[in-house]
Structure 1
Amino acid sequence: MASPISVLILENDSNSVFDLVREMKANGLSPLYRVVESSANFEATVLEEDWDAIICSTRAPFQSEISFFLKFLNEKKIDIPVILLSEPEDFHKNLLYMKSGVNDIIDRKTLLRLTEVLERERRELVYRKEKNTTETFLYQSLKEIQLQKFALDQANKVSITDANGIITYVNDAFAKITGYESFELLGHNHRILKSQNKSKEDWAKIWESIHKGKVWRGEILNTKKDGSLFWVDTTIVPFIGTDGSVFQYIAIHHDITDQKLAEEQLTHDAFYDNLTGLPNRALYLARIEQKIFTYNIQKDGYPIVFCINIDNFKRINHSLGNESGDKILIIFSERLKQFSDKDAIITRLGADNFSILLNHLLSIEEAVDYAYRLFEFLGDPIPLGGYEIYLTASYGISAFGLGGKEADVLLRNAEIAMFHAKSQKVGTVAVFNQAMQEKIHFQLEIQNDLKKALIHNEISVFFQPILDLKSNQIGHWEALVRWRHPQRGMVSPAEFIPLAEDSGLIVPITRFVLEQTANVIEEVQIKKGYPISIAVNLSPQVFYDQNIFHWIVDLHKRRGIPYSSLQVEITESLAMKNLSDTVPILSNLIDIGVKVALDDFGTGFSSLSYLEKLPLSILKIDKSFLNNVHVGNKESFLLISIINMAHDLGYTVVAEGVEELEQLELLQSYQCDEIQGYWLSKPVPFPEIIPFLDQFYKKETS
């Protein structure tokens, strides 16, 4: 969602103004701007709005008026940062401008730092205004301070110290949150609360700042009298005497413990396995990337990945039940941790698949020996429900280099080696090597057949409806590509889409999907009158290497397809791969009316920190979030949190993979907007769309 900013632009070159506005929009800003083309209009215009910044050209006629502008702002006590738009060769002039009070200077030829400078100056402007407001409020007479202290006591947790940091006053709310009585705190300093997130160096910097009369604000993790922890958002305000020295400090605390715990829980659930507490695949891949980066820099710590699969685990689940199976997985994960050294990184990849990342072994031989020693350690029986369960596991090993030089490749090859070991004999160890290229040859065969499929019209597009839970209408569909192989029959998209992306065939496939989508829109909406909007999935290659924006504009001009009838779906990994490139492309699509959906939310690892930076319309919750969701359990709280978070950001929420009525009813109660899945319909071919809609609306009206 774009961030609004109000800017006064002093420039008489319309092209330059256009470049400024375009640069701001491309980098996530939504500028509200006024252009002044002559200095005569400056005084009246600058007083009309509460501007966040002034961008002033150093060209005529403004060049000679810059000092006047600065003087006017200073005399009127108007605090607005002034940023000059200058030629890069005017170094000496720019230096004089900076000395005269200009906040920053931007190279008009590149505008590279424009957004960064605007956001920085706006933050500092907000800070100055808040600081001035706070100082005005607090630096009054002692009588006024007493009145303010009374007001603060009613709504906040307050403590006051003398110039040496000794506590001289606490209100009841502050004493209560600490677990101490007031008399136990008086005469001590705040070290009695044993801050957990601030070092001695941190406190030294804080004291240095407030001793100079500056207000400090930050989050502090303190310890209660009973040893439990609590978080406070604290503002420390120094009081300065007539001699210019600080004579006391007032600290205003807001309890943010619940907020912090909720954030920690949400983060934990997003990146850790709920059953075992181990890192999930997304976090594990990030850890592998870190180790590879360290090895490339230092040439120390050779990354080796072990993939471990429990043999015949489905049989255990079927015979003893899923609850017993979960207990075994927990015990198995604990034994992995017991055997491994403290530097090992262990993950549960899913189901009965685990993985270990080590970087202290020096050779493949040591890795194989490690795997067999682990095999023996895990062989001890597990007592459960009157039985002794003996487990074996199959191991795959992938070492940096031959096994891959990227995190996902290294892990994938370890899994390939594990499946190879399992195909030979359960309870064995295999190292990824060239002997396992049979699988790759098979993939090449499929890839070659895929090239022929485009020529022989074996590729088709199916469409899956999406139901609006509030209106009970079907207005949205997702286009899904299908391949019927002449010998193999229907080939799973999971098999051929990655191969299409690797080979570049995803480009003509996507063009084909767009054209088929246009056919549906023409028939269903333009001719039949049913409102429809169809989403097309975009792969990284199509998104970055091809101009998807121009494809859609061409489709609109050539075939009259409304922009509002098209959606694009991107994955988290695609969105986060290069945020600076992603945002402008998505913004351009949204500007012309194309909706943008983030698909499979929750399967990537940067969504929580970057979600608010992406220009999106729709958030699609991955079907894995519906697994084991019941009212009141942890999964349901996570699902509710995601839906509420998406709504707060202004996104429509679509739940994928809805297969049961219970899931639908839960999603309705959680205020989910739309659902997609087999409960409503499997993907259908083009000729079945209108009969499906006719039948659906016939039921609705009957």
Structure 2
Amino acid sequence: MWHQSSLNLVRTQDANAREKIHLLETMINRSLASQKKALARIKTRVEKVSFEDFMRLINIDSKNYISDYSIIKGVLVLDNELNYISGDNFSSSFYLNGMLEKPTIKLWLKRDIEEVQFAANSLTLDSDIPILMFLAPVKLANQSRFYILNLLDMNLLLEKSYLKYLSQYDTYLELTPNIYFSVDYKNKTQTDLNKLTSRYNHFITEKINVMDLVEHNVYTFINDYEAIHIDTIIDQLILWFTFLFIFIFVLVADSSRALEFSTKHDELTGLLRLKALEEEFLQLSSVRGCSNFATVIVKLDFYEEIHNSLGYEISDKILKKASERISINVDNRVLISKGINDSFVLYFTDTTPAILKQKIEALILDLSKAYCIDTFGFNLTASAGVVFYQTPESFNFKLNLQQANIALEKSTELGGNQIHFYQQLMDDKHSEKIIIRNNLHSALKNNELEVFYQPIHNLNGNQIVGVEALVRWCCNGEWISPAKFIPVAETTGQIVQVGKQVLNQVLHDIKKHSQLQNITVAVNFSTKQIIKDNFSIDLLHLLTQNNITYKNFTVEVTESSFQEKTSIEKTLLELINSGLNVAIDDFGTGFSSLSYLANQPANIIKIDREFTLGADKDTKERKLLDTIIKVCYDLGKKVVVEGVEDEKLITHLSRYKDIRIQGYFFSKPLPVDQLIEYIRAIQYK
């Protein structure tokens, strides 16, 4: 057993060293993928535009890019001959100092590859700021070619704070045979491998794969043997105490102990139940007088989808593995409990917000590693909500859990895979959401939602060719903005009921008023509605049942819905092929590129009012608006310009055949009775 214990200690050191290498590989690839994706978005945004628009857009994007990413030192724009076009102070200095003059660098820059590339700048590798270059070639509308070159500080490529818990290992990444980049705060880049290895007694070498493009050697050295010495002593003590414990346990164990354990612990994970957690903390605080404690709720993102699709056996195994990772990641002073469904509750004592944040981020990173269950492999992420208290008097089990859960909701609302600390403002917003959710539930139950309609005019002949149905809600004598209750409905799933109620009211109004039967009526649909089984079949059945002509009905989806394009594209194509119209609402608020329009399942584009601001004069904004309209026309799309309020812009837009306008210049959204009067007044003018 002593021999086995020693072997286990060696294996643990080896595993920890390799874990650091694997973490390094994961962090590098995530960071590179993120920067590549960000630059690809900029490339898509500025492709095929004029040189003036290209320079305007690149100046805006580069400022935002440098501001948003501390890793970005500068953004450089070069022409086809690698001549300087524009850049910030850092990139200008970088260019003027000849950092692109090396022949191999020039050859790399001018490679005939259209996608975003990256490479380390060999002239800077042994400097204080080694540079990683991201290159995006761009073709403008006149076919001229330019290069966007983002300059990244390799020192910031890694979140080194995540690796602090493995600080007993010094790690170096071999960039070239003469450059060994240190991934730790305390060490500097080395240039001689023999000198480097001579400083340590033991090390391991392993290759990492960078973006499936290149492999680099990584050297990890043990820098502190004190921890190993302590672990050896502890193993000896554990061995003797294990024998002692077994002896005592055999003497005193009985069935009551097993019953007591099962009462306090979760059957699946072996962790404390919530009630037992409360008792344990009260006992701990009475003995030690805990201060500076925190309640943390950790939840696996997208666990519910796995449970629903693969069943409880697989999902239970994932939970068990997750509980094991949590237990390994935190020390024995932390109280851990199995929470509701896929959540875990942890109580930390004698800590600080900074230390706590570091520990939870490391825990989330570990929980995000792949889960291998039977023949399946799962990649999950985790979110956490934290509430921190400074005095033991703040302990209130239900309140602690409630506030931590509010912080957790904030993490999941923002996409998950992150941590948020509770703030009083969250409580206020949470309370407001609960009030809206409850009141909306009553409103749906009592059919209190109303539908207003905003006319859509065709400037050629000043005819009303359509209306958009907009939901309105008056609660306790006060109108609630859709911007408030629609996001809540999306989160709670009530949006499906809201959409159903709005659709029924619209069908009733069309059937009742003949004026609505000869124009197009547009209704907004949530992605949650469209992805439901048989959505298109059910909608077509309702329209047929109410004698509504397909061509006079428009399904509107927001541009952001196309982030889930694969799940709704087929349905929208079915609707178009059946004779219905499909409109992309608020175009320009989600994607800035025109290139994706060609293959979208929509025959109507509604240009957001953002593109009309400043377009009443002969400005760049007007040229951009004109470009969007012309592209839409070239693709055979009908165009509705939203938010038009200026007569000069109306005059300008009237030059376009069949252009359609929706905005306060003509009319605000109206109740159906006022809408009918408005239509009659226009007809008799």
**TM class, shorter-chain normalised?**
0.3 to 0.5
- TM-score, normalised to structure 2's length? 0.42
Q: TM-score, normalised by structure 1?
A: 0.41
